[in-house]
């Protein structure tokens, strides 16, 4: 039976051999090369470096499909070999033509400089792996000084070699300095030396038997040293199942730990700010918004933290649902924080929430509602006085709703009583960032994360498995469907003028135009805000 480390609460622990540095099994030179080119330092990491694909020795690489200027591994047959002296300098040049036996553009010229090994080993008809970068020279594709390895071929060798010729060839993620077969040789050396007897199998025996999956040691050997295609396919299926099971187990533990935490129940008030907000709404909530709102209300009223993912396309009304949850928390004496990925989006949320709340966002201010609260914006680029004022509003509890970017995660940000965290565009934030904000509450706060990205159920289980999921699948009444058009400006650069004239038409019809500008990076450095060139009513505005 697999062993488990003491105090591990039933979680399988890797065996000692898997934690060993590679230098113990393959020597310092080989281990240094593996670390330098692949970033792997332990036995377990190396054995977890699985092949990306397998070659059938009877199926040569289609040479005309080999990409240019990329490190590739080609399985091909030698067509011809010729060696000549170089004219401009001393030495020899060996030209080898390889083929995939398909005819047409199936040959490729390889050049070796002063390569006695290539002259000696590469003979017409030989089968070999070639690793290098294909380039174009004098109008023809070529490969210069590649690494190569001869393979046994049933046309050229005896019985044992014929058996070897049927084995799939594993092709590993490799580099120019460390070709696939060198990685394969090192892994075979490690497999011969590692002790699997203490390996704790993450899959229980009854699960492996039920799913007809090979054992763990057998799977490592199948994935790296398959005798048949069925071997590596069975090993791949086993490791896929194992990875999914381990991930789901970890997420289940996280859900259980969260459910066991004690949170402050936020039951709201029948005549509070939420009731006044609902009474002032100029539209009716959709059935989906009402249903999700009821779920959130129940979970907020519980004495353990809510952890929920809300999916809904742009315009489905996620913000209103989230705002009603925030107001329920405020009615219970707590605060809500809304975390947005960019300053632009944070500012849009701030303006949108202030606008829809109206006097309810001006609590304690002249003209504000007596039942209202205050909404504060906190971003990294705010002037120092405004930032200090926002920090004070959050820490004193004056602001019931605090909207911000990653600046909310700063150590100097404090809350009076943080009861609910709302995260917009969840895929832009990790679990660690969520937890950093959760740590600012005296008790574990409730959590609502939102995304407009459609997430298939299987992906949601994998990425957001620690969250319960709700979906807004309908648009509010009166919302026109959104038309999306792809404009090929690379092929038709003159069409850019038509884009803006088309935008002008929509604006003249009292519609809005949403312009999306791609940006690479994780912060807002370098964002430029342009003053409108025309009258305010003609500015192209983002949709709320």
Residues 306, 448 contacting (CB under 8 angstroms): yes
Q: From the centroid of its chain, how far is CA 211?
A: 28
At 543 the pLDDT is 40
pLDDT of residue 367: 66
Backbone angles phi, psi at 276, to 5 degrees: -70, -35
Record the tokens describing residue 82, joined without a space: 């010729």
Give residue-wise pLDDT tens across range 444-500.
999 999 988 776 666 666 666 678 888 887 777 666 666 677 777 777 778 888 888
Where the chain has pLDDT below 50, the residues are: 1-11, 155-163, 524-544
Angstrom distance (rounded) from CA 21 to CA 255: 35
Q: What pLDDT, on the 0 to 100 scale, is given for residue 532?
A: 42
Q: Beta 71-85 vs 140-144: how paired, if at all?
A: unpaired
Structural tokens at position 424: 């917009």
Q: What is 273-472's CATH superfamily?
A: P-loop containing nucleotide triphosphate hydrolases (3.40.50.300)
Determine which helix (DSSP H) or strand (DSSP E) holds 463, and give its type and residue range: helix 457-463
DSSP 8-state code for residue 533: S
Domain ranges of the chain: 16-52+192-250, 57-167, 273-472, 493-538
Q: Do domains 57-167 and 273-472 have the same CATH topology?
A: no
**By the 8 A CB rule, do 138 and 169 touch?**
no
pLDDT of residue 59: 74
Rounded CA gap, 176 and 76, in Å? 18
DSSP code string of 376-399: EEE-TTS-HHHHHHHHHHHHHT--
Residue 451 to residue 454: CA distance in whole angstroms: 8
DSSP 335-359: EEEEE-SSHHHHHHHHHHHHHHHGG
SS3 call for 224: helix
H/E stretch holding 160? helix 159-165
In this prediction the pTM is 0.63
Residue 60: the pLDDT is: 81
pLDDT given at position 533: 41
User: Smallest Cα–Cα separation from 118: which of 90, 147, 157, 155?
Assistant: 147
Q: How far is CA 308 from CA 270, 298, 420, in A?
A: 24, 12, 11
Collect all residues with Cβ–Cβ distance below 8 Å to 306 and sequence separation of at least 6.
263, 296, 299, 300, 446, 447, 448
Q: Quick one: tokens of 330? A: 């405020």
**Beta carbons of 429 and 451 less than 8 angstroms apart:** no
What is the third-level CATH fold of 57-167?
OB fold (Dihydrolipoamide Acetyltransferase, E2P) (2.40.50)
Distance of CA 335 to the CA centre of its chain: 31
Complete edge-to-edge strand list for the sheet that includes strand 418-424: 375-378, 401-404, 335-339, 418-424, 446-451, 307-312, 468-472
Residue with tokens 């005819």: 103
| Per-residue model confidence (pLDDT) at position 541 | 39
Neighbour-count burial of 15, counting CB atoms closer than 10 A to its CB (0-12 exposed, 13-18 middle, 19+ buried):
buried
Q: Which two tokens stand for residue 401?
A: 């709703």
Q: Are 474 and 503 in contact (CB under 8 A)?
A: no
What does the alpha-carbon distance between residue 343 and residue 380 come to, in Å, rounded to a whole number?
Answer: 8
DSSP alpha helix (H) spans, 167-272: 180-193, 205-210, 216-224, 229-260
Looking from the CA of 492 toward its CB, the CA atoms found within 13 Å total 8
C-alpha span between 443 and 238 (Å, rounded): 41
Rounded Cα–Cα distance for residues 300 and 171 (Å): 52
């Amino acid at each position: 039976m697999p062993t488990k480390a003491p105090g591990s609460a039933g979680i399988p622990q890797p065996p000692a051999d898997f934690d060993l540095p590679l230098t113990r099994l393959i020597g310092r030179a080989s281990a240094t090369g593996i670390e330098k080119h692949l970033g792997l330092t332990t036995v377990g990491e190396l054995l977890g470096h699985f092949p990306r694909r397998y070659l059938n020795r009877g199926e040569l690489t289609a040479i005309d499909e080999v990409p240019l200027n990329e490190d590739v591994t080609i399985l091909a047959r030698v067509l011809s070999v010729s060696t000549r002296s170089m004219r401009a300098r001393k030495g020899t040049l060996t030209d080898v033509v390889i083929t995939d036996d398909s005819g047409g553009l199936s040959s490729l010229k390889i050049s070796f400089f002063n390569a006695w090994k290539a002259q000696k080993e590469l003979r017409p008809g030989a089968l070999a792996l070639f690793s290098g970068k294909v380039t174009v020279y004098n109008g023809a594709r070529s490969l210069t000084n590649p690494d190569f390895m001869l393979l046994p071929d049933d046309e050229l060798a005896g019985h044992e070699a014929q058996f070897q010729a049927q084995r799939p060839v594993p092709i590993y993620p490799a580099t120019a300095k460390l070709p696939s077969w060198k990685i394969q040789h090192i892994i075979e050396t490690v497999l011969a030396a590692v002790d699997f007897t203490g390996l704790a199998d993450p899959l229980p025996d009854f699960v492996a038997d039920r799913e007809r999956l090979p054992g763990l040691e057998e799977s490592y050997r199948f994935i790296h040293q398959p005798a048949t295609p069925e071997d590596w396919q069975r090993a791949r299926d086993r490791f896929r199942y194992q990875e999914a099971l381990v991930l789901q187990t970890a997420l289940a533990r996280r859900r259980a730990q969260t459910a066991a935490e004690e949170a402050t129940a936020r039951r709201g008030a029948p005549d509070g700010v939420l009731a006044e907000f609902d009474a002032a709404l100029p539209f009716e909530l959709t059935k989906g918004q009402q249903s999700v709102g009821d779920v959130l209300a129940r979970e907020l009223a519980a004495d353990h933290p809510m952890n929920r993912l809300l999916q809904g396309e742009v315009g489905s009304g996620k913000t209103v649902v989230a705002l009603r949850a925030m107001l329920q928390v405020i009615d219970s004496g707590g605060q809500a924080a809304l975390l947005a990925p960019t300053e632009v989006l944070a500012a849009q949320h701030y303006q949108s929430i202030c606008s829809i709340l109206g006097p309810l966002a001006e609590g304690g201010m002249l003209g504000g509602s007596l039942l209202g609260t205050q909404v504060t914006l906190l971003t990294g680029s705010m002037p120092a006085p405004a930032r200090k004022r926002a920090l004070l509003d959050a820490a004193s509890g004056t602001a019931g709703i605090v909207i911000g970017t990653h600046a909310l995660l700063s150590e100097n940000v404090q809350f009076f009583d943080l009861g609910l965290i709302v995260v917009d565009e969840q895929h832009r934030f990790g679990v660690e960032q969520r937890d950093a904000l959760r740590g600012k509450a005296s008790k574990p706060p409730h959590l609502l994360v939102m995304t407009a990205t459609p997430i298939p159920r299987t992906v949601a289980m994998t990425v957001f498995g620690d969250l319960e999921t709700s979906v807004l699948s309908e648009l509010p009444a009166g919302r026109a469907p959104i038309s999306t058009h792809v404009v090929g400006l690379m092929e038709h650069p003159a069409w850019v003028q038509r884009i803006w004239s088309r935008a002008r038409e929509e604006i003249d019809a009292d519609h809005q135009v949403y312009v999306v500008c791609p940006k690479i990076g994780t912060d807002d450095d370098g964002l430029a805000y342009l003053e409108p060139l025309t009258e305010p009513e003609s500015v192209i505005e983002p949709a709320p």
